[in-house]
Amino acid sequence: MTERTEAALLEAARTGDRAALEVLLERYQARIYRFGLRLCGDRSDAEDVVQETMLAMAKELSSFRGDASLSTWIYSIARSYCARRRRKKPLESDLGALDADAPEVQDPSPNAERIAEDRELEVALEEAIARLPGADREVLVLRDVEGLTAPEVAKVVGLSVDAVKSRLHRARLKVRARLAPLLEIPNPGPLPSCPDVLSLFSRHVEGEISAQVCAEMEHHLAGCPRCEGACSSLKRTLSLCAASPVPQVPPEVQARIRSAVRRLS
């Protein structure tokens, strides 16, 4: 049986197809849980956020007009629930619980060592993101972890695209600076005469610099190991963000979501 596209699932779910609705919920719940963990910094809050978001999605899907993408709409709902919880208490990063969930590495083989190194980077990334100011953090998470486009992020957070990109560039450089010591990429720092290659590269990712400026940057990188190392560390940081693991929603939370949605019938 051919897997239905999201558009087909959405159309079916809006007309009352419960099976299609449950497929959509399953597709999004782990990502929304990850989003809740990043923004709330607390597992209990993230569990509540994913439950509330999935239930709101199920209740309101029939009235979804399609003015934005489905993912933009869902993240907007989740963001509103996260904001309510952040107003109730200060952000407290749940890094301890994240680290406790990591599998113990007892095998001394090179592969086990690589797994331990990857886990160290993963935890460091979590901490670097958690230390960002709230507005910068949500923009970076939506763009570089969840994979929304800058215009989609702008719709979710209610800012202009330019404002989103400004916060995004700032957040990327802060996260990269915290990860740099662990990336093992030589980077003694640019010389005073060097261009700001980190900002330029971040802007390049968003399509904000011309082909000429891009070519000039590449020419400089080819002859400047310092700047090439800095740029490589930012590339690696963005790659780590994009590869951020999707945590499993606790089975009991999934069961509560299914039960609540079925009661809507």
CATH of the domain at 167: 1.10.10.10
**Separation CA 58–CA 258 (nearest Å):** 10
119 plus 73 within the same structural domain: no
Same domain, yes or no: 229 and 109: yes
- Let me know whether 71 and 110 are in one domain: no
Helix axes 6-14, 18-40, angle to 10 degrees: 110
Question: What pLDDT, on the 0 to 100 scale, is given for residue 155?
Answer: 96
- What is the mean pLDDT for each group of 10 consecutive residues in the chain (265 residues)? 77 88 93 94 93 94 84 96 79 43 46 79 94 95 97 96 98 95 81 92 96 95 93 95 94 94 83
- Residue 5's φ and ψ, nearest 5 degrees, are -70, 165
H or E segment and range at residue 84: helix 70-88
**Rounded to an integer, what distance in angstroms lies between the CA atom of residue 46 and that of residue 93?**
12
pLDDT of residue 4: 78
Q: With contact defined as beta carbons under 8 Å apart, do 145 and 34 qualify?
A: yes
Q: Are residues 70 and 108 in the same domain?
A: no
Domain count, the chain: 2
Say which residues have a Cβ less than 8 Å from residue 19's Cβ, sequence separation at least 6: 12
pTM recorded for the entire structure: 0.87
Confidence (pLDDT) at 1: 38
Domain co-membership, 23 together with 67: yes
First to last CA, the chain: 26
* Domain span including residue 166: 102-246
pLDDT recorded at residue 115: 76
Q: Say how many C-beta atoms besides its own lie within 10 A of residue 125's C-beta.
A: 20
The predicted pLDDT at position 191 comes to 81
- What pLDDT is stored for residue 67 in this prediction? 79
pLDDT at 196: 94
Given this model, what pLDDT does residue 99 score? 43
**Are residues 106 and 156 part of one domain?**
yes
